[in-house]
A and B are shown apart, each in its own frame.
Chain A
Amino acid sequence: DTAVSQTPKYLVTQMGNDKSIKCEQNLGHDTMYWYKQDSKKFLKIMFSYNNKELIINETVPNRFSPKSPDKAHLNLHINSLELGDSAVYFCASSHRDGGEFFGPGTRLTVL
């Protein structure tokens, strides 16, 4: 299936732990993104990569580090997790001049 996929779908962890979320797209898109959706459903862009190069880096704590090994993958690593990091994290991809296609989301719960 052509799609944007993310793993894991659910992530429950303790404060202070380090965790990673993986994202892959097989749509041949040039640009990939990470978004955070909080409990009030606000969707906020965190990062954007174009052909493995970081092009958008919003005011996100440096505990969050994206990594793009190739243009089909964009992973998100989070250090020292905090309660406020609990949210749904969406990966997305697009062509440079097109709409964005979202992955299924990863629901992160920090206890």
Chain B
Amino acid sequence: GENVEQHPSTLSVQEGDSAVIKCTYSDSASNYFPWYKQELGKRPQLIIDIRSNVGEKKDQRIAVTLNKTAKHFSLHITETQPEDSAVYFCAPNYGGATNKLIFGTGTLLAVQP
């Protein structure tokens, strides 16, 4: 089956610093790479996604970069703010089928004011 790992599992940064979370996957057929943010007690929310024909995508302070050869993609958050504190999940699709996402184990990001 698909193996999805996230690193680090916890990350603490000072407000204004950058944060990077890396996701490694094993299925070479994966072609859709989203990141989800889950605040405490809330639902997971899609924050950014990328498809395999693109190497990087940016949306204001967040960006995702994809290295399909090495089978990893990363979430980059710049100028972090306390409201960025949450658990972040990567969820590459399995077998090239967009409707089956395999969620990583999550990264708890704490932004210290």
A interface residues with partner B (beta carbon < 8 Å) = 31, 33, 41-45, 48, 50, 55-56, 90, 94, 96-105
Complex interface: chain A residues within 8 A of B45 (CB)? 102
B98 interface residue (CB < 8 Å to A)? yes
B43 near A103 with CB under 8 A, answer yes
A102 near B44 with CB under 8 A, answer yes
The DSSP consensus for interface residues of chain A is strand
- A34→B95 CA distance, assembly (Å): 19
CB-contact partner of A56 in B87, B91, B100, under 8 A: B100
Complex interface: chain B residues within 8 A of A94 (CB)? 98-99
A104 near B43 with CB under 8 A, answer yes
Complex interface: chain A residues within 8 A of B101 (CB)? 45, 100
Complex interface: chain B residues within 8 A of A104 (CB)? 42-43
B43 near A48 with CB under 8 A, answer no
B44 near A48 with CB under 8 A, answer no
Complex interface: chain A residues within 8 A of B49 (CB)? 99
Q: Shortest Cβ distance from B104 into chain A, in angstroms? A: 9
Closest residue on chain B to residue A48 by CB atoms: B99
Closest residue on chain A to residue B98 by CB atoms: A97
Task: Name 26 A/B residue pairs within 8 A (Cβ), A-sorted.
Answer: A33-B99, A41-B87, A41-B106, A42-B103, A42-B105, A43-B44, A43-B89, A43-B103, A44-B103, A45-B100, A45-B101, A45-B102, A48-B99, A48-B100, A55-B99, A56-B99, A90-B43, A94-B98, A94-B99, A96-B99, A97-B32, A99-B34, A100-B34, A100-B46, A104-B43, A105-B43
Complex interface: chain B residues within 8 A of A98 (CB)? 98
- A102→B38 CA distance, assembly (Å): 11
